[in-house]
Amino acid sequence: MAGEKAKREILSSTDRKDDCIEIWDLDMDSYDSVKKFAARATTSLGRLDGLLANAGMMATEFRKSEDNEKTITVNVVSTFLLCLLLLPKLHKSAEKFQINPRIVIVNSGLHYMAPTKELDPNNGEIFARLNNPETADMSGRYPVSKLLVLYGVRELAQKLTRRKPLVIVNTPNPSFCVSGLVGHELSFGERVFEKLLARSTEMGARALVHGLCSGPESHGEYLTNCHVQK
């Protein structure tokens, strides 16, 4: 299990006690799983300082899950469902401990390249087009999902601004780095490309840690190379 492997590596490199890290099941392809995870966090955690929504997928073949195309389900709908379900716990922690909890949703520089035809409201209901296997543009689906994340973060940030202490939300880009995003065995050419150009997993993770540590200046913003990118 990837979570257990990561836990062992963290414990071995930090010399911390075993019980400082817990591994919980969460399937972002299932709304029921997201709800169960959020309910567990709400009831069992004494406080919640940050949520790093790092789960994501990239696919070129159309598949549906939970009545949406799978990329949209995992990268967008389930991600914001999790954030919204945990918001009450984040607000409660903010008020009780006088802190600014963070919601960090991982983005990608590929959102700049997103084809926006499917997102044009003049062409009908957006989700109906995204979920139509006959018209879905899967070659640009991952960038579209990340553009939707950016839109969602901006909208959520506006609503969160009304309540104090502020729950900060931002969306950092770790850039192209070694990860399990593609979810399949890489070809020889892809391995060479990754070896030459990709950041290490640890280097990419710095951008995510920066998102969790950033202050109010990052609220509602897209971050890249550890700074706000307009």
Catalytic residues: 142, 146
Q: DSSP string of 51-116?
A: EEE------SS--EETTEEHHHIIIIIHHHHHHHHHHHHHHHHHHHHT---EEEE---GGGGG---
Distances from the Cα of 92 to the Cα of 42, 47, 53, 89, 98, angstroms: 10, 8, 20, 5, 9
Q: Crossing angle for the helix pair 31-44 and 78-97, nearest 10 degrees?
A: 10
| Contact assessment for residue 173 and residue 207, using Cβ atoms and an 8 Å cutoff | yes
